Amino acid sequence: MSDGFDRAPEQTRPPRAPPSSQDNSPQQNSESTMAKPQVVAAPVLMSKLSVNAPEFYPSSYSSNYTESYEDGCEDYPTLSEYVQDFLNHLTEQPGSFETEIEQFAETLNGWVTTDDALQELVELIYQQATSIPNFSYMGARLCNYLSHHLTISPQSGNFRQLLLQRCRTEYEVKDQAAKGDEVTRKRFHAFVLFLGELYLNLEIKGTNGQVTRADILQVGLRELLNALFSNPMDDNLICAVKLLKLTGSVLEDAWKEKGKTDMEEIIQRIENVVLDANCSRDVKQMLLKLVELRSSNWGRVHATSTYREATPENDPNYFMNEPTFYTSDGVPFTAADPDYQEKYQELLEREDFFPDYEENGTDLSGGGDPYLDDIDDEMDPEIEEAYEKFCLESERKRKQ
């Protein structure tokens, strides 16, 4: 039976000193038993590190693209493998976009020379952007760059035109997708968010050099929101919230320039969903927070706006950072409560609220703090003068 701890094997014990003639003698006196312990030198471990060792890569890191990229595209038998490897590389290292996108586009210009090759390129990027989490933004940036730097422009359409045609294929089944099974809806939501990123990142240069966004995507996003709100399941509503947080401010500005009230209609639609739909409580809270975000101009602060001192009337967040107090009955209250002054005064009058302290924090117990007692209460004259100037300057700026 084991007592819970394994006995150490014999070979792990330190080597014993050779036996001497004293070992065979009877028990020695107490002085002889206090012999000095024998020191055993630890073995010296030889390092296996070498300056000639190959470069280390984490197990999750793929260096195939980097090695092949340095040698050009000769190591890739097909366009599909080359593009897919680059997309995977961007997924793992999005920071390499700026330094490697130019070489990637130049390689494509020498490889993508037919309609079929261009169609294949569009499909590869679209699939990566709608199937890999968090790649929709990078995919939209990639699409924007290629739309301006790919030289091929066949009769079937250039890169941007083929990309929009591919998106239209998914767009046309939006109503069926929004009410489909969970897998179908998940794929549809990825498409919706990718389209939102395309709307923000895909630049269209006019004949006069002006840069605009694709109006066709603006119209498409409006209809996609209708499809999501018409099928108010939790995941559809969450997708709508994500889309509006991403594009809401830009969409509203564009609609206002055209004199449209589409955002007002969307907000009204959201309020109706909150009141009538059988969505979860958490999703309703998300929708209400979105309405609140839009009421604050999507969180944007205009530096050019005239300064106004914050008051409870003009600042909805005036009381956000106010402390919370509790009455003698344990009821919380803040400065936003109508009877705040009355409750706070009652709080100060409670004898046990600040024991042995006045309202200004003066210790009445007589004990005192030996450390604080040594500190001189008077300011240095230069510090006092600087403080007075600071107060006057602050008051002057506040009145302006």
pLDDT digits 0-9 by tens, 143-162: 999 999 999 888 888 999 99
Cα-based angle 41, 25, 39 (whole degrees, multiple of 5): 10
Q: What number of CA atoms fall less than 13 Å from residue 349's CA on the CB side?
A: 6
User: What is the rounded CA–CA span in Å between residue 399 and residue 308?
Assistant: 10
**Percentage of the chain exceeding pLDDT 70:** 64
pLDDT digits 0-9 by tens, 194-241: 999 999 999 988 777 788 898 899 999 999 999 999 999 999 999 999
What's this model's pTM, rounded to 2 decimal places? Answer: 0.61
pLDDT band for position 45 (cuts 50, 70, 90): low
pLDDT band for position 37 (cuts 50, 70, 90): low
Between 120 and 369, residue with greater pLDDT: 120
Q: How many CB atoms lie within 10 A of CB 13?
A: 8
Are 254 and 218 spatial neighbours (Cβ–Cβ below 8 Å)? Answer: yes
Are 87 and 125 spatial neighbours (Cβ–Cβ below 8 Å)? Answer: yes
User: What is the rounded CA–CA span in Å between residue 224 and residue 240?
Assistant: 9
Residue 10 has pLDDT above 70, yes or no: no
Element housing 332 (H / E)? strand 332-333
Q: Tokens 């609220």 map to which residue?
A: 353
Q: What number of CA atoms fall less than 13 Å from residue 57's CA on the CB side?
A: 9
pLDDT digits 0-9 by tens, 110-141: 999 999 999 999 999 999 999 998 899 999 99
Between 54 and 355, residue with greater pLDDT: 54
Mean of the pLDDT values across residues 356-379? 51
Phi, psi (rounded to 5 degrees) for 325: -110, 170
Mean of the pLDDT values across residues 255-275? 94
pLDDT digits 0-9 by tens, 93-108: 999 999 999 999 999 9
User: What is the rounded CA–CA span in Å between residue 7 and residue 11?
Assistant: 12
- Would you call 171 helix, strand, or coil by DSSP? helix
User: What is the rounded CA–CA span in Å between residue 351 and residue 265?
Assistant: 56
